[in-house]
Amino acid sequence: MFSRQILINHKNSKSIQIPCGFKHTLIDNYDVYYHELNEVNYYKSKTFECMVIGTIVYPEQTNFNLEALLSDCNTETTFELINQKLSRCCGRYYLLYNGMDGAFLRSDATSLAQINYSGQTKQIATDINLLKQSGLNVTKNKRAEKFYKEVFPKKGNGNAWVGDETPFNEISKVLPNHALNLNSFDVVRYWPWKKFTIERFEHAVENIARELQLLLQAFSEVSPLSIAVTAGNDSRIMAAAAKPIKGDVYYFVDKLSFMDDNHSDIVIGRTVCDALNVNFNVHRNFELLDNVPEEFKSDYFESVFYALPKRLPEVYYYSKHLHNRINICGVGEYGRSVYGEHMFDTDTNFLCYKYQCINSSYANTVTHKWMTDIKKHEFASSYPINTLYYCEQRLGNWGAVGNAESDIAFEEVNPFASHAIIEKMICLNPKFTTYTKNQLFSQLINTLAPELNTIPINPKSSFLAKLKAYFKGSSSFRFIDKIKYRLSSRLGAKTA
C-alpha cells in the first residue's frame, strides 16, 4: 500500500505510524520515510544539502547524477539557483533542500508527486490518506466538504479538485510551482523565475523536440518503457520522440468498453506504429470491476484519497502485464491553449467556468486567493493567467490523481513536464498553440518523425463531428463561448 509515496515528520512531533515497505533517512530536522520503490539521490556541499526522492532524469545524463549537476554551485547557492539548475529535469519526484536561505520541499514541475501537509503537526505526505493513516486527527472543512460532495463529482471525471485546501481543516496541499518552507510551513512560489516573453517558434520547436528525445532516452535507461498510442497529438509526439531508442519499448492502446475494432484510437494507433515499424498491442478483455481481487481494490482506494473506480480494471491489467515498465503518459497541454488565447487578466468565475465549476462559491473563493498571489509575484504576474490556472489547478489536481491511481501498477511520467519545456510552450505566440489545428504539435511531429505527419489527428467520422471540430477552432466559437459564460454567470444556479 502507498506505493511510491513519502511521509515526513518533524523530529519534535509525536511519533507516527509508518506503513510497511517504507525506508528511512534524515534531512535537517525531519525524519523522511519513503516507499521502497523510490530511488534516492543525495548531494551535500559545505553550505547546502539536496535530496531527490522518486523517478528523475536529466536529458544529457545516461544515469541521473545529482552531484554532477550541483557540484559547481558556490557558497552563495540558494534554493532559487538549485531550481534553475534542475529546470531541464523531468520525472515524478520530490526535492528537499536545506541551505543558508532555509529548508524547502517541492515536487516535480506539475506536482505529479503530490504534497499534502499539516502545518499544525509538521507532518507531510504524498496523499491525504497516508497522513490520516499515520495518525493525524482530522476535522471536516465544511465549505470544502460541501464543494467535495455537491460540485466536485460533477466536474470532469469527478476527481478534479481546485485550490490548495482539502476537505479537512488540518490538511493543505502544495500546488505546482510552489514549495513548502520546512521552517515556517509557509508556501512560496518558486517558478517562473523570469518575465514572460514570446519565444521564436522555429527555435522552440527544435529545442523541445531535442529535449523530448533526450528525456525519453534517459527514461529508457532507468527501465523499459510503455507508450499508449492513440489518434491524438500528444501520444504521437511521444512515439515519434522514442523513435531513436534501441531498447525495449512497448506500444499499446486500451480497447475500452465503448470502443469497437474500428475506433480511431485503434486504427490510427496501429497506422502510426506501422509507419514507425514497431509492434502495436491492443489491450482487450479487462476484468469487470467486481472481478478485480479485493486486496488490490483495497490498496487502490486506500492509497489514493481521490481515486475513482473508473480506471481500476485498466490499472489492474497494467499491474499484471506492465509492472516492470515506466509508462510514458504524454500530456502536452501547455502547448495547447485549452482555456483559450493568452489572457493576462480575467475574473475568477470565468476561470471556474473553464474548469467546470462556474458559480461555485468555494471554487471562486480559492481561485481568487490563487489570483491574488499571482498578481503579487514579480514574474508570474506577467504570464497568461488562464494558462497558469490550467497548469496549476487542473493538471496539478486532476492530472496528479491519474498518476497516483497508477502507482499500484507502475511508475508513470510525463516527458513534456520539465520547466524548460513548459516555459517554451507557454511563451509561444498563441497562433501556434490553438486547440485545433495546432501548429506546434504538427511541427514537432514533422521534426521527430516526418513520416507520421500525413496520418490524420483524431479524425471525425460523422459530418456533425467534423462540423463541431471546425466550429470549435473558429473565432465564432470564442465569441459564442464568451456569451455562454456571461449568460451562465448571470442566470445559472449558484452552487457550493
Question: What H or E segment, with its residue span, contains residue 107?
Answer: strand 102-107
Please tell me the predicted confidence (pLDDT) of residue 469: 64
Q: Which amino acid is at 8?
A: I
Domain ranges for the chain, please list them. 6-136+175-189, 141-170+352-382+460-496, 201-335+397-453
Burial profile 335-361: b = 16 or more Cβ within 10 angstroms, e = fewer: bbbebbebbeebebbbbbbbbebbbbe
Q: How far apart are CA 490 and CA 175, in angstroms?
A: 30
- CB of 453 within 8 A of CB of 445? yes
Angle, CA of 104, 110 and 113, to the nearest 5°: 65
CATH placement of domain 201-335+397-453: 3.40.50.620
- CB of 284 within 8 A of CB of 261? no
Angle between helices 439-448 and 233-241 (to 10 degrees): 20
Q: How far apart are CA 438 and CA 429, in angstroms?
A: 12
DSSP track, 180-249: EETTT--EEE----S---PPPHHHHHHHHHHHHHHHHHHHHHHS-EEEE--SSHHHHHHHHHTTT--S-E
Q: Identify the sign of the CA torsion 171, 176, 178, 179.
A: positive
Length of the chain: 496
Q: Which amino acid is at 230?
A: T
pLDDT < 70 positions in the chain: 155-159, 461-463, 465-475
Please tell me the predicted confidence (pLDDT) of residue 465: 64
Q: How far apart are CA 399 and CA 355, in angstroms?
A: 13
Question: What H or E segment, with its residue span, contains residue 179?
Answer: strand 178-181
Please tell me the predicted confidence (pLDDT) of residue 399: 81
C-alpha R_g of the chain: 22
Please tell me the predicted confidence (pLDDT) of residue 115: 98
Q: How far apart are CA 51 and CA 48, in angstroms?
A: 10
Please tell me the predicted confidence (pLDDT) of residue 158: 59
Q: Identify the sign of the CA torsion 476, 482, 486, 492.
A: positive
Q: How far apart are CA 359 and CA 495, in angstroms?
A: 6
User: Strand, helix or coil at 55?
Assistant: strand
Cell of 237: 509526439
pLDDT in tens, 45-76: 999 999 999 999 999 999 999 999 998 887 78
Q: How far apart are CA 329 and CA 252, in angstroms?
A: 12
Please tell me the predicted confidence (pLDDT) of residue 24: 97
- CB of 10 within 8 A of CB of 29? yes
Q: How far apart are CA 466 and CA 481, in angstroms?
A: 19
- 49: phi then psi, degrees, rounded to nearest 5: -135, 145
Please tell me the predicted confidence (pLDDT) of residue 472: 67
What letter does residue 122 receive in the DSSP assignment? T
Q: How far apart are CA 296 and CA 300, in angstroms?
A: 6
Angle, CA of 50, 53 and 55, to the nearest 5°: 125
Please tell me the predicted confidence (pLDDT) of residue 12: 87
Q: What does pTM read for this prediction?
A: 0.95
Q: Identify the sign of the CA torsion 178, 142, 405, 336.
A: negative
Q: How far apart are CA 92 and CA 108, in angstroms?
A: 6
Ranges of H-type helices in 2-99:
66-70, 79-85
Q: Considering only CA atoms, which of 101, 93, 104 is closest in space to residue 187?
A: 104
